[in-house]
Chains A and B, each alone.
Chain A
Amino acid sequence: MAQIDFPASGLSGASRINHELKYFINSAPAHINLENLDDSNIFKWTVNMNGIQGTMYEGEKFKLQFEFTDNYPQVSPIVKFVSGHVPVHPHIYSNGHICLEILYAGYRPEMTIVYICLCVTQMLNKNKNKVVPRGDSYYSLRRVDRNPKNTSWIYEDEY
C-alpha cells in the first residue's frame, strides 16, 4: 500500500506525551506519582502506585510501567507492572502482565495515562480475593515475550 503523507506535525507521540506530562505533574490523583523521568527518553514512564486505604492493597506500593511509541496515542502504550513490584491479583500475572481489556482490544486514543492508572487502581480496589491468576507460573515462566500486547487475552470480568 502506498504511503500517504499524513498531518504529523504537532501530533507525534512526543507532543501528546509532553502535554500529558504537564497534566500528570499538576493534577494526578494523590495515590500515583511519576518516578524520576529521564528527560532524554520521555517514551518510558514508571508510575509509583500506592494501594488505596480500605482496600486489600492498603499500605502496599507498586510500580506501573508505560512504554510509548511515536504512534501514541493512536497505538496503545505497553503497560505492565515492574517485576518485584507486582500486586497479587487474580488478573495480574507475576511477570507484571495485566489482563485488562482497555490495555489491548479496548484501548482508545482518547484514554490518557492518568485514566489508565485509574482503571488499574479500580481493578485493584474491586478485588476481594488476593490470589495469583490460574496458570500464573506457566504463563509467567514461559512467556518469553515481554510485551503483553502480543498475548491473546480473554477478559473474564469487567473492571
Chain B
Amino acid sequence: MSDSDYEHDDEDKDNDDDEPDYLSDPDDEFFDQVEPVLKPPPGLMAKEPRGPMGYLDFKFTCIGPDELMSRMHDIVKQVNAIFELPPCTTRILLSHFNWDKERLLERFYDGNQEKLFKDAHIVNPFRQARVPVGNSTILSVDVICDICLMETSHKQLEGLECHHLFCIDCWRNYMRTRIEDSGNALAIPCPHGKCDILVNENIVYRVMQPFPDVIRRFQYLSAQTFVQQHKLMKWCPSPGCTFAVEANSTRGVPVMCNCGYRFCFSCSSPAHEPVSCKYFQLWVKKCEDDSETAHWIHANTKQCPKCKATIEKSGGCNHMVCRNVNCKADFCWVCLGPWEPHGSSWYNCNRYNNSNAKVARDGQAQHRQALERYLFYYNRYVNHMKSLKFEDKLYAQIEVKMRDMQKLGLAWIETQFLKQAVDSLCHCRNTLMYTYVFAFFLTKNNHSILFEDNQRDLEMATETLSEYLERDINSDSISDTKVKVQDKSTYCERRRQVLLDYVYEGYESDIWEFNMM
C-alpha cells in the first residue's frame, strides 16, 4: 500500500506524558471556552478528488503476525497526531469505527462529540476530572470493594476514567476471566453493572503486569479483533497461515499471501478471477447440487476415439497420444476430437457449439439441453482443475531437471526460470478454469465472442506450455530449453493479462450481461 494514503505519518507525538494543562481542570465552563482542539487542522478535511477506482489501481500487501500490532499502533499514531488524545482512547474510538480513520475524523469534527464518546463507550476525555487513579494519597481510610465486598486500602483501588473503583485483586480476576473467555479484547466493559465504559489497554498493562501470559493473550486477541474489524484487511484463509493481507479496496480480485496461497480479497474463497464473487458462489452451489449428474461424465478414464482402447490421464496436458502402438492416435482429452486443429487457428475446443445444441434440441427435452450446456462448461472447468492437481507432479519433475542443469554448471538462480514457468502454467490454468464459469453465466453477444477468442488464445498458449514442460523439454539443449520455456511462459502470461484486462474493463464499462441460470 502506498504511503501517500496516510499522509500524517511523520508527526509522532506521545500524548501520554504531554497532556495540555487545561485537561486537568474539571470546571465545565472552562472547557466551553477552550474548544480550539476540537477544530480540524486546516486542509485536513479537504477530500482528495477520487475517481472510481479501477482494477489496475488495486494494491495489496501481506502483513506478518509480528507487524500487526505495529500496524495497529501506526494507525493510532496517525490519528493521534491530529487528535491529541491518549492513544488508548484513540484505539477504542478507531475500533468503534472499524479502523476507518476517515470516518472517525469526519464524525469527530462534524458531529456531536459528546454522543460520539458515548457511542464508543469511553469517557469524554475533554471532560474528565483527572483524579489520579490507583495511587491516591488523599484518602488512606479503608473502603469496601463492591466486587469482593471486603475492606480494601484505598491505595489498592483501580478503575477506569468512569471512577468505578475496585480492588486490584478483583480487577485481576475480572480481566483474566474476560480475556481468557472473550473473543474481543477491545470490548471488555467496566465491571460496574450500570456502566458501559470499555477497558483500555493502559489499565490492562498496569493491572496485569505480573501476568505476562494474560497480557500476551490480550495482545493476541487485540490483533485478531483488529484484522476482523478492519474492512481492508483479511486473514489468509490457508490453514495454519498467520499472515493477513491489507488492500486499498474491498474488490473481489485475487491477492497472494506470502505463504503462496492465492485467494479472493472480497470473499476469501480460492482465487477465482475473472468470475465475480457472486457468480463464483452461484457456480459452487450449482456444482454441489448437480454433482450426481455430473460425476458420471468425469471418470478419469476415456476411450480412444479411434481404437477404443481405455486411456487414463496421467498428466495435465490435454494432448493425448493413444498408447496402443498400432493406433497412436493424437486426440484432445476434452472434446475427443483430433488434436491437430488444437494447435492451429481453427481451434474450437473452448466454444460451446450452439448449432450442435440446436440439433440436440430437436429431438430432446429442453432440460436435457440445459444439462448438456452445463456439462460442456463443467467438463472444461473440472479438466483444468484436474490438470492443476497434476502440476504438483510437474513441479517435482522440474525440480529434477533443475538439479541436472546445476550439475552441468548452471547456477541455482539460472535454473529458476523453470519453476517460474510452472507457476505461470498454474496461474493460467486457474484463470482458465474460472473463464468457463464466467462463460457459463455469460449471455452471448459481440463481447462474449471476443471473450471466447481471448479464452481460446490463452488456452492454446497454456496447452503449448504444458506440453513442452511435460514432454518435449528433454529433447532440447539447455540453451534452447531456456529460450523456449521463457518465450512460451511469457506469452502465456501476456495472454492471461489480455484476457483479464478485457474482462475487468468490461465489468467497469458494464458490457457483460449475465444469466442467473
Is the C-beta of A25 less than 8 angstroms from some C-beta in chain B?
no
Given contacts A6-B176, A7-B169, A74-B177, whether A15 and B193 have CB atoms under 8 Å apart is no
Is the C-beta of B357 less than 8 angstroms from some C-beta in chain A?
no
Residues from chain B with a CB closer than 8 A to the CB of A110 are 146-147, 164, 166, 191-193
A73 to B147 Cα, complex, angstroms: 7
Looking across the interface, which residue of chain B has its beta carbon closest to that of A74? B177
Q: Is B173's CB under 8 angstroms from A111's CB? A: no
Residues from chain A with a CB closer than 8 A to the CB of B213 are 1-2, 4
Q: Is B149's CB under 8 angstroms from A11's CB? A: no
Q: Is A11's CB under 8 angstroms from B191's CB? A: no
Q: Is B169's CB under 8 angstroms from A11's CB? A: yes
- B323 smallest CB distance to A (angstroms): 59
Looking across the interface, which residue of chain B has its beta carbon closest to that of A15? B148
Looking across the interface, which residue of chain B has its beta carbon closest to that of A22? B149
Q: In the complex, which of the residues A6, A20, A74, A102 has the most CB atoms of chain B within 10 Å of its own CB atom?
A: A74
Residues from chain A with a CB closer than 8 A to the CB of B217 are 1
- Count of chain B residues with a beta carbon within 8 Å of a chain A beta carbon: 25
Residues from chain A with a CB closer than 8 A to the CB of B191 are 108-110
Q: In the complex, which of the residues B148, B174, B177, B214 has the most CB atoms of chain A within 10 Å of its own CB atom?
A: B148
A93 to B346 Cα, complex, angstroms: 73
Q: Is B189's CB under 8 angstroms from A108's CB? A: yes
Q: Is B150's CB under 8 angstroms from A10's CB? A: yes
Q: Is A15's CB under 8 angstroms from B214's CB? A: no
Residues from chain B with a CB closer than 8 A to the CB of A7 are 169, 172-173
Looking across the interface, which residue of chain B has its beta carbon closest to that of A20? B149
Given contacts A108-B192, A109-B191, whether A16 and B180 have CB atoms under 8 Å apart is no
Is the C-beta of A71 less than 8 angstroms from some C-beta in chain B?
yes
A111 to B149 Cα, complex, angstroms: 11
Q: Is A115's CB under 8 angstroms from B176's CB? A: no
Is the C-beta of A42 less than 8 angstroms from some C-beta in chain B?
no
Partner of B173, one of A19, A74, A102, A108: A74
Contact with A along B183-206 (1 / 0, CB 8 A): 000000111110100000000000
A99 to B141 Cα, complex, angstroms: 41
Is the C-beta of B170 less than 8 angstroms from some C-beta in chain A?
yes
Residues from chain B with a CB closer than 8 A to the CB of A10 are 148, 150
Q: In the complex, which of the residues B146, B166, B195 has the most CB atoms of chain A within 10 Å of its own CB atom?
A: B146
Residues from chain A with a CB closer than 8 A to the CB of B22 are none
Q: Is A109's CB under 8 angstroms from B172's CB? A: no
Q: In the complex, which of the residues A2, A19, A73, A75 has the most CB atoms of chain B within 10 Å of its own CB atom?
A: A73
Looking across the interface, which residue of chain A has its beta carbon closest to that of B144? A19
Contact with B along A94-138 (1 / 0, CB 8 A): 000000001000001111000100000000000000000000000
User: Which A residues from 1 to 39 make CB contacts under 8 A with B?
Assistant: 1-2, 4, 6-7, 10-11, 15-16, 19-20, 23
Q: Is A108's CB under 8 angstroms from B169's CB? A: no
Q: In the complex, which of the residues A7, A19, A115 has the most CB atoms of chain B within 10 Å of its own CB atom?
A: A7
Q: Is B211's CB under 8 angstroms from A4's CB? A: yes
Residues from chain A with a CB closer than 8 A to the CB of B190 are 108
A23 to B217 Cα, complex, angstroms: 37
Q: Is A111's CB under 8 angstroms from B193's CB? A: yes
A2 to B214 Cα, complex, angstroms: 9
A102 to B217 Cα, complex, angstroms: 26
- B30 smallest CB distance to A (angstroms): 32
Looking across the interface, which residue of chain A has its beta carbon closest to that of B216? A1
A115 to B192 Cα, complex, angstroms: 12
Q: In the complex, which of the residues B149, B180, B195 has the most CB atoms of chain A within 10 Å of its own CB atom?
A: B149
Q: Is B150's CB under 8 angstroms from A71's CB? A: no
Given contacts A4-B211, A4-B214, A74-B173, whether A11 and B193 have CB atoms under 8 Å apart is no
A103 to B149 Cα, complex, angstroms: 20
Given contacts A16-B147, A108-B192, A109-B147, whether A71 and B169 have CB atoms under 8 Å apart is no
Given contacts A110-B146, A110-B164, whether A6 and B192 have CB atoms under 8 Å apart is no
Q: Is A108's CB under 8 angstroms from B150's CB? A: no
Residues from chain B with a CB closer than 8 A to the CB of A75 are 177
A73 to B167 Cα, complex, angstroms: 14
A1 to B216 Cα, complex, angstroms: 10
Q: In the complex, which of the residues A11, A20, A71 has the most CB atoms of chain B within 10 Å of its own CB atom?
A: A11
A66 to B217 Cα, complex, angstroms: 32
Given contacts A4-B211, A110-B191, whether A15 and B150 have CB atoms under 8 Å apart is yes
A115 to B174 Cα, complex, angstroms: 19
A109 to B174 Cα, complex, angstroms: 8
- A66 smallest CB distance to B (angstroms): 16
A23 to B336 Cα, complex, angstroms: 87
Looking across the interface, which residue of chain A has its beta carbon closest to that of B217? A1
A15 to B148 Cα, complex, angstroms: 8
Looking across the interface, which residue of chain B has its beta carbon closest to that of A18? B149
Task: Enumerate the 5 nearest inter-chain pairs by beta-carbon distance, A residue then B residue, closest first.
Answer: A19-B149, A111-B193, A74-B177, A7-B169, A108-B193
Interface, chain A (partner B; CB < 8 A): 1-2, 4, 6-7, 10-11, 15-16, 19-20, 23, 71, 73-75, 102, 108-111, 115
* Residue contacts A-B, CB under 8 angstroms, 20 given: A1-B213, A4-B211, A4-B213, A4-B214, A6-B176, A11-B169, A15-B148, A15-B150, A19-B148, A20-B149, A23-B149, A73-B147, A74-B174, A108-B191, A108-B192, A108-B195, A109-B147, A110-B146, A110-B147, A111-B193
Interface, chain B (partner A; CB < 8 A): 146-150, 164, 166, 169-170, 172-174, 176-177, 180, 189-193, 195, 211, 213-214, 217
